[in-house]
């Protein structure tokens, strides 16, 4: 079954001024669409055609680079759009807020460490907050890899992921990745992250 591009759960201009309209149009409509199209091309007529996206991603080490990169791209972006929301930001509450405070000391310290992992990722990739062995951990992956992949350096269940490819921020922030990472907290839906956290902690 062919994969399809999920609709954005908000308008392209909904994340202004933190993520600009043109970036959202190109990022979702061109980049994400290309991952979907190239994934479909790569699996057509192969046994991978009948696998779920999560199955493909989890077996990244034994699939072709085209399926790994485009399957990862499709999974990562589908996850990313859902974590972003207009009128979001603020601070996480409940179990998630408590766990971030007890693991990292404070929300601000968590953000600093997350930014360090993001800025430290050479070239293109993603920064993640994951649940690993019942605990929160920050990690990063290159290219379109993610922590679900069998090949990931640090494996776990992603509850928050931020795209640090230049295409995610270059039009508005140019080379200022750290500035983009400072602004993105204004559009992170902690409610959504808490949902993932509850599932991953079961």
Nearer to Mn ion, 72 or 92 (CB): 72
Nearer to Mn ion, 79 or 104 (CB): 79
Report the nearest approach of Mn ion to the CB of residue 167 (Å): 5
Q: Is 199 exposed, middle or buried (0-12, 13-18, 19+ CB in 10 A)?
A: exposed
CB 82 within 8 A of CB 51: no
What residues make contact with Mn ion under the rule CB under 5 A? 163, 165
Nearer to Mn ion, 165 or 173 (CB): 165
Report the nearest approach of Mn ion to the CB of residue 187 (Å): 15
CB 69 within 8 A of CB 31: no
Question: Nearest residue to Mn ion, using CB?
Answer: 163
Report the nearest approach of Mn ion to the CB of residue 18 (Å): 16
Report the nearest approach of Mn ion to the CB of residue 168 (Å): 5
Strand-by-strand arrangement of the 125-132 sheet: 135-142, 125-132, 157-163
Nearer to Mn ion, 26 or 107 (CB): 26
Q: How far apart are CA 48 and CA 20, in angstroms?
A: 36
Q: Which residues contact 153 (CB under 8 A, 6 or more apart)?
A: 139, 141
Nearer to Mn ion, 145 or 163 (CB): 163
3-state helix, strand, coil in the chain (%, to 5): 55, 10, 35
Three-state secondary-structure class, residue 97 = helix
Report the nearest approach of Mn ion to the CB of residue 19 (Å): 11
């Amino acid at each position: 079954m062919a994969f399809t591009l999920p609709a954005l759960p908000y308008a392209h201009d909904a994340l202004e001024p933190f993520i600009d309209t043109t970036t959202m149009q190109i990022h979702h409509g061109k980049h994400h669409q290309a991952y979907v199209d190239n994934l479909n091309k790569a699996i057509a007529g192969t046994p991978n055609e009948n696998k779920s996206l999560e199955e493909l991603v989890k077996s990244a080490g034994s699939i072709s680079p085209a399926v790994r990169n485009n399957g990862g791209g499709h999974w990562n972006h589908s996850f990313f759009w859902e974590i972003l929301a207009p009128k979001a930001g603020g601070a996480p509450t409940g179990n998630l807020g408590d766990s971030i405070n007890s693991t990292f000391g404070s929300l601000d310290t968590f953000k600093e460490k997350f930014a360090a992992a993001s800025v430290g990722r050479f070239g293109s990739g993603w920064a993640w907050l994951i649940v690993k062995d019942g605990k929160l951990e920050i990690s990063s992956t290159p290219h379109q890899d993610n922590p679900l992949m069998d090949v990931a350096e640090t494996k776990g269940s992603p509850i928050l992921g931020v795209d640090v490819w230049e295409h995610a921020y270059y039009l508005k922030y140019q080379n200022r990745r750290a500035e983009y990472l400072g602004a993105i907290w204004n559009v992170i839906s902690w409610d959504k992250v808490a949902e993932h956290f509850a599932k991953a902690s079961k």
